[in-house]
Structure 1
Amino acid sequence: MQKTFVLDTSVLLHDPRSLYAFGDNLIIIPAVVIEEIDTKKNLLDIIGRNAREVARELDHLREQNSLSKGVRLENGGTLKVELNHKSFSHVAEWFNEVNNDNRILAVTLNLQLENENKGIQNMVVLVSKDAIMRIKADSLGIESQDYLHDKIEYTYETYVGYKEYRVSSTLIDQFYEKGYLDYHYFDDIGLLSNQFLILKGEDSPNKSAVGRFDKLTGKIKALVFGENSYWGIKGRNAEQRMALEVLLNDDIKLVTLTGKAGTGKTLLSLAAGLYKTNDERIYKKLLITKPVIPVGRDIGYLPGDKNEKLRPWVQPIYDNLELLLGTKSFTKLEDTLVGMNRIEIEALTYIRGRSVPNQFIIIDEAQNLTRHEVKTIITRVGEGSKIVLMGDTEQIDHPYLDSECNGLTYIINKFKEENLSAHVTFRKVERSSLAQLAADIL
């Protein structure tokens, strides 16, 4: 049975290609959605880009026929811009404010009532990224759903970058003696490339070991870098040691780190970056950046030059650099950074169009990136560079992203089987006992 899907503005601004994601069904775009997209087209962020992309797609489709009459799509569906069914009478009793959301609800409800009056067996579904819109639709008896087309099946249980396995104490002793174990001991658990294995003794619970699966050699290898200290920083737990192992391995070009605040993602990445650029000179520069997404109300325009405007957004990075470099004031930190001439803190806005060769690149708060943005960033990575993306997928500030459809989650799942990449999920907070308690119970 064919369905009618009414698309909310949030869906189109999240994914301009959503027009083609509903098979051979009828796709309805209320006229008010076109108006809302028009108000977003001049924005300079990803929302503005998507608004312009939607406008181009609709402009291309209208060449076939009037959008108000309906246009056939390549996948067999039909797209229509709805100009009628805008009566507010059925919605006003419960939601009497005449705003754009309620106008979209009115169109959806009127289409549904018309089908019922005509005896047409056609389910009308409102698709929205806005949870409040879905709640309001449900209260009106309208079928509603989130836009699921680009969601990744990702949970902490499916892929965290490591697995635990109980073995005999003899095998653990053999691992320490040889520095590796052949994969045939563990081929039944299906390890991915660069996935870690935490070995626990069956007969001796206190005996354990951590190894990394090297798919090219077919061996579980002992940690080479993770047990050492770098710029005064050493892994305090197994997850941090695993992270250092992949951060300092030059053969692994893409590293993703996820975990709650205070687990050490940024500090470990900076320590590894400083060691690789300043001590070993493997990379010419340490490039640090993050998306500029405000938490809560935007503070507006900031005074000063580019560096002064950027500083409030990257203050957590400066805090970690002060600890690593042993400086006690921002002025001394700036002097140290200028003297080293190997660290660049940049706004993510300026990375488009660049080619970044021979650099150790750190992208903080990557959970606030869209799939398109993260693709843009990784395709900027030049020859001889390494990129680290990290963040907490439970703390997303972008209005149209969630834990299952953000750039960081997307990259983790797309690259988890590649030899050039590795992932580690942090569970233990090391900032303080209070921070660990807050992360667990709040």
Structure 2
Amino acid sequence: MKHIVDTNVLLHKPQIIEEHDVVITSHVLREIEELEKKRRSDRTLMFEIRRLKRHLKENKHHFMDLKDYKFTLTDEMDGQYVDNILLQVAVDNGYGMITNDVLLQEKCGLYNIPLILVDEDHFIEHKGFKEVKFSETQWANVIGNPEVNSLELMVNEYAIINNVKDGELLDIVKWDGLETKSLRDKSGKLGAGFKTILFDKFKPRDEQQIMAIDSILSNQLTSLRGRAGSGKSLIALNTAWHLVEKEGYKLVMFVNPTPLREAQELGFYKGDRREKLMQSAVGTMLKSKFGGDAELEKHLLYGTLDILPFVDLRGFDTGDSKTIVWILEAQNLTSDLMKLGLQRISKNTKVIVDGDYFAQVDKDVYASNNGMKRMSEVFRGNELYGEVELQTVHRSALADLADKM
């Protein structure tokens, strides 16, 4: 039996076209086109639409019903509403329906339309910050009463304050559980940056990068998310090394080497595990950041840096020494692997987790059981945790455009 699939299911679970004999109507396709035109700033939605288009192109396990239907079932429902037209299509053709929309399910019951329900992802997106607008006078009144959580922020959630008149940045603040604190330093500057011997000067390039650095420095656990080129690795490495040089931390990197989706593996790598890691994508990235093999090997030898694959983590403990753990490409971790990594952490250890579970997941298992998502659900609002989604690709204009492919 053929089943119509509604817009919501198609966007959130495009693999549904491989699992059932589905019908995609012209009305659903038109609704998706309208969403693509009107909500281009919604990064999550744009990714879901691109992902759906790839699935439709690569899989032919679906039927397109391109006929335009007119809703005639009853005068008591809006005939222009897409969900109501889907009812008409189902009744006219004897199709079933695939939907998680409760109202549409009830309507299907009225017309005896067979239903298929799919597992729904109840994950609530959390960027780690809000953007609000005030006049300078209004903001002065708000910040003048810091003990009042007037912005309704979670603990360690940030807020970007823009001037309602011209959009200029007024302040960046966070709620620490007791008061609203500005991220301005003692001289009144936002994002002043810092300098390390190894990497020289580093200065955040936008509001999200300012918040990311603050979170790493002030929280025990920080999640950094963002598109390729948004600065996740740059921020993590520079801030971590700032702690290494200034406060005597050791940097330990946890990695779960995962071949890029659809990329051809080169086969057997010679050497022990560390040598193999150095030949992986992680090793290539580190060599470029540290300026080559020699500098990287020096810090591995001196003990200021270590690199551990997740396969070796059982029994590992950061101990009492000051350590900063950096979990790279964490979109490629299941909930159990993320849990294993975080359980290795002692009280003197800071943790940076970076990744992008929207666009850079390289195996289906990590899409359906994602450790970064689960970590966010469990830790958000806790005094130990901060989370920031980086919004802007700074690598190049070309890299920014490539994200739309």
- TMscore range, shorter length: 0.5 to 0.7
1:354-373 to structure 2, matched below 5 A, reads 354-357=316-319, 358-373=322-337
**Among 222, 232, 235, the residue aligned to 1:265:** 232
Q: Answer whether contact 2:163 2:169 (CA < 8 A) is retained.
A: yes
In structure 2, relative to structure 1, the CA distance for the partners of 1:247 and 1:379 (3 Å cut) is: same
Q: Answer whether contact 2:220 2:351 (CA < 8 A) is retained.
A: yes
Per-residue CA distance 1:339-389 (angstroms, 9 max, x = gap): 653011221211122111331000011111111111111111112011111
Q: Answer whether contact 1:211 1:222 (CA < 8 A) is retained.
A: yes
Residue 208 in structure 1 maps to residue 170 in structure 2: yes
**1:169 maps to which residue?**
136
Residue 396 in structure 1 maps to residue 361 in structure 2: yes
Q: Secondary structure in 2 aligned to 1:346?
A: strand
Q: Secondary structure in 1 aligned to 2:352?
A: strand
Q: Answer whether contact 1:286 1:344 (CA < 8 A) is retained.
A: yes
For residues 344 and 302 of structure 1, the distance between their equivalents in structure 2, rounded to whole angstroms, comes to 20
**Among 238, 242, 253, the residue aligned to 1:288:** 253
Report the residue type matching 2:376 in the other structure. I
What displacement does 1:298 show? Answer: 3.6
For residues 408 and 288 of structure 1, the distance between their equivalents in structure 2, rounded to whole angstroms, comes to 16
In structure 2, relative to structure 1, the CA distance for the partners of 1:230 and 1:340 (3 Å cut) is: farther
Report the residue type matching 2:202 in the other structure. I
Q: Secondary structure in 2 aligned to 1:182?
A: coil
Residue 385 in structure 1 maps to residue 346 in structure 2: no
Q: Secondary structure in 2 aligned to 1:277?
A: helix
For residues 380 and 372 of structure 1, the distance between their equivalents in structure 2, rounded to whole angstroms, comes to 13
Q: Secondary structure in 1 aligned to 2:214?
A: helix
For residues 174 and 320 of structure 1, the distance between their equivalents in structure 2, rounded to whole angstroms, comes to 48
For residues 344 and 145 of structure 1, the distance between their equivalents in structure 2, rounded to whole angstroms, comes to 47
What displacement does 1:161 show? Answer: 0.5
What displacement does 1:409 show? Answer: 0.9
Report the residue type matching 1:221 in the other structure. S
**1:244 maps to which residue?**
213
Residue 235 in structure 1 maps to residue 204 in structure 2: yes
**2:313 maps to which residue?**
351
Q: Answer whether contact 1:167 1:201 (CA < 8 A) is retained.
A: yes
For residues 160 and 183 of structure 1, the distance between their equivalents in structure 2, rounded to whole angstroms, comes to 23
> Unaligned stretches of 5+ in structure 1?
1-93, 95-141
Of 310-319 and 427-436, more deviation after overlay is shown by 310-319
Q: Answer whether contact 1:364 1:391 (CA < 8 A) is retained.
A: yes
Q: Over the residues paired in the alignment, what is the CA RMSD in angstroms?
A: 2.9
Larger Rg: 1
What displacement does 1:221 show? Answer: 2.8
Q: Answer whether contact 2:136 2:163 (CA < 8 A) is retained.
A: yes
For residues 190 and 211 of structure 1, the distance between their equivalents in structure 2, rounded to whole angstroms, comes to 12
Q: Answer whether contact 2:310 2:337 (CA < 8 A) is retained.
A: no
Q: Secondary structure in 1 aligned to 2:235?
A: helix
**1:75 maps to which residue?**
none
For residues 337 and 115 of structure 2, the distance between their equivalents in structure 1, rounded to whole angstroms, comes to 32
> Unaligned stretches of 5+ in structure 2?
1-60, 62-113
Per-residue CA distance 1:164-184 (angstroms, 9 max, x = gap): 111121355678xx8x75153
TM-score between the two structures when normalised by the length of structure 1: 0.58
Q: Answer whether contact 2:278 2:284 (CA < 8 A) is retained.
A: no
Q: How many residues align?
A: 283
Per-residue CA distance 1:192-227 (angstroms, 9 max, x = gap): 111111111123432421112111x22233344843
Per-residue CA distance 1:81-125 (angstroms, 9 max, x = gap): xxxxxxxxxxxxx9xxxxxxxxxxxxxxxxxxxxxxxxxxxxxxx
In structure 2, relative to structure 1, the CA distance for the partners of 1:399 and 1:205 (3 Å cut) is: closer
Per-residue CA distance 1:123-159 (angstroms, 9 max, x = gap): xxxxxxxxxxxxxxxxxxx9766544xx44233xxx2
Q: Secondary structure in 1 aligned to 2:375?
A: helix
For residues 237 and 207 of structure 1, the distance between their equivalents in structure 2, rounded to whole angstroms, comes to 11
Of 309-318 and 382-391, more deviation after overlay is shown by 309-318
**Among 160, 164, 174, the residue aligned to 1:198:** 160
In structure 2, relative to structure 1, the CA distance for the partners of 1:174 and 1:230 (3 Å cut) is: farther
For residues 391 and 207 of structure 1, the distance between their equivalents in structure 2, rounded to whole angstroms, comes to 27
Q: Secondary structure in 2 aligned to 1:220?
A: strand
**2:69 maps to which residue?**
none
In structure 2, relative to structure 1, the CA distance for the partners of 1:365 and 1:385 (3 Å cut) is: same
What displacement does 1:230 show? Answer: 3.7
Q: Answer whether contact 1:223 1:245 (CA < 8 A) is retained.
A: no
The sequence identity of aligned pairs, in percent, is 24
In structure 2, relative to structure 1, the CA distance for the partners of 1:270 and 1:388 (3 Å cut) is: same
What displacement does 1:288 show? Answer: 1.0
